[in-house]
Homo-oligomer: A and B are copies of this chain.
Amino acid sequence: MVAAKRKSTKEVQNLLESMADVVVDAAKKGQDPAYQIPVRALSNVEFNPKKRIIEMGKNKTARQFFNLGMAKKFMQTVLITDALMELQRQDNLSTSLREIYYRTKHTIKGTSENTFDDQNESDPLIEDLEVTLALLREELHVRAESSGTIVGPVTIVEGGDTIDCTRQGKAGKTVPSIVEPGELDIKKCSADFVLLIEKGTQFNRLSEDKFWKKHNCILLTGNGQPPRGVRRLTRRLHDEYRLPVYVLVDNDPWGYYIYSVVKQGSINLAFESQRMAIPDAKFIGLSSLDPESYGLPRNVGIKLSEQDVRRTKEVAGYPWFQKKEWQREIKQMLTSGLKYELDALANKDFRFLTTDYLPKKLKTKDWLD
């Protein structure tokens, strides 16, 4: 088992303080204080074919205080840093992006100017701080909704409680947004693999049928695009217990995209790939070749919209989808002109996913890399 590294509260505090030091040092020298902020834009993102993840480049931009166009943003950056420091100073206090916006919003004395008028102003500054200080949002104690669920042979310690995920009923255990060591520890795990499921419906199907027991695996879902907590927990199970990860998504361009974010990371949050991405994750389905292999009738397919076609072609162009198996997969979707939801497997039988589809896929190793 490989333990994941995590910055201590003291280290996080020091990094946040370094933002204040920039101002103090400049003031002492009578200079213009400025932050060097890595550029978070497509122009500064690239696919690293060796590591097989999407990474941020090295471009930075200066944010100066003595600049009419930047002064407000500079002031806002300092306010956000201060609020984040407040979180660190209280024991185990976490909050949401929206609450940080409200916490830092006030009317500047003697004026009618607000420090922030909209959350769209504060969110990007938190992301700026993440990349500038090389800190994860989780280390800054900023959480999102807890929208994931887990069941299977793994025992976790979360919020001081030891939780055996084989005894969490059909509905399973809610996955918190922050799953860094200390917040969530994996105490024991005897599973053979992780099945990461796009939608709650299929998670419920497999959990109800105790698929995890028969196939000795962990079932995880994020009810749609997996949130950070679910991605990070999957990655930790992969790293710390060497578990293979299989991703089960709808057969549409959105499903391909969800898979690619799990595997290579996302373009928007390229900085986080190093802690989130799982380059060895496999795509187990639904494949464009499955309707024929599993006898799904064409009438349960859904006609690709113009937007679907455009998006599918876009996906086909990504550097990480260039393997010939993937090009064949994507071409088949465009040729048939149809997409298929996982729910369509119910056309065969309500339990078809559990009893036929997945067991055959796993047995014949019918997945894409």
Contacts and interface: CB of A to CB of B under 8 A. Distances in A.
Interface of A: 86-87, 90, 92-96, 98-103, 105-107, 114, 143, 145-147, 149, 156, 158-163, 167-177, 184, 200-201, 204-205, 207-208, 223, 297, 299-300, 341, 343-347, 350-351
A159 to B, nearest CB: 4
Contacts of A114: 299
A177 B149 CA distance: 13
Q: How many copies of this chain are found per oligomer?
A: 2
A287 B96 CA distance: 22
Nearest to A86: B350
Q: Interface of chain A, helix or strand or loop or mixed? A: mixed
B163 A159 contact: no
A96 B343 contact: yes
Nearest to A162: B167
Contact of A96 (B90, B107, B201, B344): B201
Most buried by B among A156, A168, A350: A350
B105 A299 contact: yes
A173 B170 contact: no
Contact of A171 (B99, B176, B299): B176
A103 B158 contact: no
Given A297-B107, A343-B96, A158 B170 contact: yes
